[in-house]
Amino acid sequence: MEWDKKMLNFKALRLNLTEASGKPVKSFTVGKKSKAVITKSGSKFAVHIDGELLDDKYKSAKDAEKSAKEFADLMGA
């Protein structure tokens, strides 16, 4: 079947949806072992923790970093 070649498996689809989009601004660890990445897209900043989007509507990188650290403390990571 020719259409099978175009279909993505679940792992590839999830990777495409969760990878950080935009220009990486800062990468750091939060908590004991979680990796956080702050990206900039247009005039907004986004935070990804372990590849999952936390939020993408921050006005500054400083606000995004503060939010990532607060989230890690709250979750006990």
Q: Which amino acid is at 66?
A: K
Q: What's this model's pTM, rounded to 2 decimal places? A: 0.72
Strand partners, 39: 24, 46
- Per-residue pLDDT of 2-34, as tens digits, reads 555 566 677 666 655 555 578 889 999 998 888
Which is nearest to 68 in space by CA: 21, 31, 25?
31
Which residues fall within 8 angstroms of residue 46, CB to CB, at 6 or more apart? Answer: 20, 21, 22, 38, 39, 40, 53, 54, 55, 56, 57, 58, 64
* pLDDT score, position 15: 59
Say how far apart CA 19 and CA 11 lie, in whole Å.
12
pLDDT at 51: 83
